[in-house]
Amino acid sequence: MKKIAVLLLAIIPQLINSQKKIVVQSVLPQIISKFPAVRDFTISPNQNEIYFTAQGYAGELSTIIKVVKKEDQWSAPEVAPFSGQYKDLEAMFSPNGLKLYFVSDRPNEHTTKETKNYDIWYLERSSIDSDWSSPINIGSPINTAGDEFYPSVAKNGNLYFTSTTASSTKGKDDIFISKWEDNKYVEPVSLPETINSEGYEYNSYIAHDESFLIFGGYNRKNGLGSGDLYISYKDQEGKWSVAQNLIKINSDKMDYCPFYDTKTQTLYFTSKRNSIRDDFTQSKNLKELLGLMNSYENGLSRIYSSVIQL
C-alpha cells in the first residue's frame, strides 16, 4: 500500500499537467475591470458571496471588495463593511463559511489610528445568513512583530499562512502551519523542504481535508518566469510530496493567490499575464490603443479561473 501511495503522489501532478482541456478564463470581467488592479479571491460555500482585493497601480491602496449574488445575478461591487480605512487584503473563507480570515495593517487597539505590521484577522458569524462580527486579531503564536499573510484554514482548524519572521524559516518567505489543538493554535512550524526553499514561498491554499496544498514560488529553477503556482500532496503518513509546477495554469508572468472551489472543481488565481503583443504592421488610432490598454489581460493583476481536477 505504501508503494502504491508513493506512486500515486508521483503520477497525480503529471496527470494534472497533461490534462488537454484546461482553459484559463477571466472572472467577473465587467466587475474586475472597474479597478486598476485586483488580487486574491474567495467565494462562500453556497456560491453567493465573493470577496477580492482592489489595489492602486502601485499598491498604495488595498481594500477588500464584496460582491453578492441576488436572483442569480452578481451585484455591483462595494467596499466590504470591515474594510476601506486601512490596507486590507487576502480574504479567505473557512470551509463552513462561518469565518472570514483576512490580512490588515490596522492597529490592534481602537484608541489609536496608527497602522502597524500586517497581521491575520478574522470575522465570524452564527449562520451563513447572519452579519459578520467585528474584526478579531488572531493573536499569538500566529501573529508576530513581523508580517503574516495569506491565511488558509483546513476543516480541522489547522491554519496555513506565510511569514518572514516566525521561527525556523528555511528562506526569505516560508509557508507555516499552526495546528488547532485543545481549542487553541500551537506554535507555527515551517513546512518541509519539499515545499519551502531558500527563496520565496507564499500564498498557500490548503484543501479542506489537507490532501493538497497549492502555493506560490518565486523564480524557481523549474519556473516559467517570475512567480508560479505549485502543488504538493500529502500521503497517508502525513508527508508532503515534492511540489510540482502547475504548468498548464502558469504563464511567464506573476501567477499567485490560489483558491480552489471543491464544489465546482474550479481553481481561481491572480495573474499579471499580458496578451498584448508587439504589432508594427500598422498604426493604431486612439480607440484601438485604449482598447488594448484597458483589456483584461493587460499585464495588471487580474483574477482568472480554470476548471481542473486536483
pLDDT for position 20: 66
Q: Residue type at 79? A: V
Q: How far apart are CA 229 and CA 218, in angstroms?
A: 9
Torsional sign, CA 105, 109, 111, 112: negative
**pLDDT single digits (tens) 30-80:** 999 999 999 999 999 999 999 999 999 888 899 999 999 988 999 999 999
Report whether 171 contacts 196 (CB < 8 A).
yes
pLDDT for position 63: 98
Q: How far apart are CA 259 and CA 1, in angstroms?
A: 31
Q: What are the residues facing 177 on neighbouring strands?
A: 160, 189
Residue closest to 259 by CA, chosen among 267, 271, 247: 267
pLDDT for position 110: 65
> What is the domain count for the chain?
1
Q: Which residues lie below 8 Å from residue 211, measured CB to CB, with a gap of 6+? A: 233, 234
Torsional sign, CA 86, 91, 97, 99: negative
- The three-state DSSP-derived secondary structure of 49-65 is EEEEEEECCCCCCEEEE
Phi first, then psi, for residue 11 (nearest 5°) are: -85, -40
Q: Which domain holds residue 91?
A: 2-307
**pLDDT single digits (tens) 198-218:** 889 999 999 999 999 999 999
pLDDT for position 98: 98
pLDDT for position 170: 64
Pick out the chain residues at pLDDT < 50.
1-10
Q: How far apart are CA 284 and CA 144, in angstroms?
A: 52
Phi first, then psi, for residue 72 (nearest 5°) are: 65, 15
pLDDT for position 290: 87
pLDDT for position 19: 58
Q: What letters, b where the CB count within 10 A reaches 16 and e where it falls short, cover 20-55? A: eebebebbbeebbbebebbbbbbbbbeebbbbbbbb
Residue closest to 95 by CA, chosen among 248, 210, 252, 18: 210
Q: Residue type at 199? A: G
CATH number, domain of 35, equals 2.120.10
CB count in 10 Å sphere of residue 251: 18
